Chain A
Amino acid sequence: MTIDPSAEEAVLLDQLRAMWARRDPVPVDLVDRVMFAVWLEDLDTEVEMLTMTAQSGDLVGVRATQTARTVTFSTDDLSILITVSDRPEGRRRVDGWVTPQGSGEVTLRRSDGTSVTAPVDADGRFALDDLSPGLVQIVLRRGDADPLVAAPPIEL
């Protein structure tokens, strides 16, 4: 035993912690995705999760250079198709179509907890403009008796 190995042990553990934090860092969007998941879970209401069934362009991960990207989210009896287009100064626009058509309200929630809401018209169309880029989650509210419908987070 050398002089005061316990102090050296504490230093070593601190250095190990720093080392692992650097070598095997937390995935960049893990915190955001967890926040979306717990937010939905915390809503105290029934939520139906959509899955991504088709996409063109790169909505997730590395940003595509193309100006419009479309993605479809579906369950057995409902689907939402959205098109994301680039706007000046790095802003984004989202156009969406809900099938079967019917009015309602769509909310786009950002990972910082803020959200924007837009009406869905009787034809199932909605539009959200002048959006900042980043990870968002789309949530559709139809009739009061219907469960909320949520899509997995996507990168605008």
Chain B
Amino acid sequence: MTASTRGTALTDRARDLFLAWSDGDARALDDLVKLLTPMLWHLARSYRVDHSEAEDAVQNTWLALVRHRGSVHDAQAIVRWLSVTVRREAARQAQRNQRMAPVEDAEVDAHLPPVDGPEVMVIDLADSSVLWRHTAELSERCQHLLRVLAFSDRPDYRHISDELGIPVGSIGPTRGRCLDKLRRACVADPEWSWS
């Protein structure tokens, strides 16, 4: 299943559950939480927040939905509403942590050493896939952008632009450069296969 068909199926399912919940089916909210919490977790974790901070961001996002459900006028946009909210929550926390690198420099080609999120990303070389190794070699900004894009359903470039300090028009090219760099590194690696 490709990223786009996966995204469409997810969006449609989320819309149906949101509508059922709005019609008074409390269990539909549980199903919506089950469906989308994994995606929200990875979006939160793409920021420099630790496990418990990411959990708080996800939980606050769901609580915000319950409190402000009236403000979600377009059920079709529920996935985006939640994605934007969790990224905002996590970005705010990351800023509080002051771990986020300054964002004046929109160039991603500067080869920053990989900076690991707290608690994770300790690379066990004996157990590291080719993809993991080469992803870890990308700049932090590339890693963040790719993780957001990998877990976003129809990513909203305007919000990504605000958060990363990259002009909207640069996100596409930046994405391309990050992926291209990763692809070249993988392809050049004798251990790599596309399977």
Contact = CB atoms under 8 A, between A and B. Distances in A.
Question: Is chain B found bound to chain A in the same assembly?
Answer: yes
Interface of A: 2, 5, 8-17, 19-21, 23-24, 26-27, 30-31, 33-35, 37-39, 41-42, 113
Interface residues of B, number: 42
A106 to B, nearest CB: 20
Interface stretch (B28-36, B71-79, B98-106): B28-36
A42 B66 contact: yes
B179 interface: yes
Contacts of A39: 26, 29-30
Given A9-B183, A27-B51, 12 more contacts: A10-B2, A10-B3, A13-B179, A15-B131, A16-B150, A21-B42, A31-B37, A33-B55, A34-B62, A37-B63, A39-B29, A41-B67
Interface string B101-144: 00000000000000001001100000001011001000000000
A34 B147 contact: no
B41 interface: yes
Q: Is the interface of A mostly helix, strand, loop or mixed?
A: helix
B182 interface: yes
Contacts of B120: 23-24
Contacts of B65: 38
What are the 8 closest A-B residue pairs judged by CB atoms, nearest first? Answer: A17-B150, A41-B66, A26-B41, A16-B150, A9-B179, A26-B38, A38-B62, A31-B37
Interface string B47-77: 0000100010011001101110000000000
A1 to B, nearest CB: 9
Contact of B42 (A2, A13, A24): A24
Contact of A113 (B30, B51, B62, B149): B30
B16 interface: no
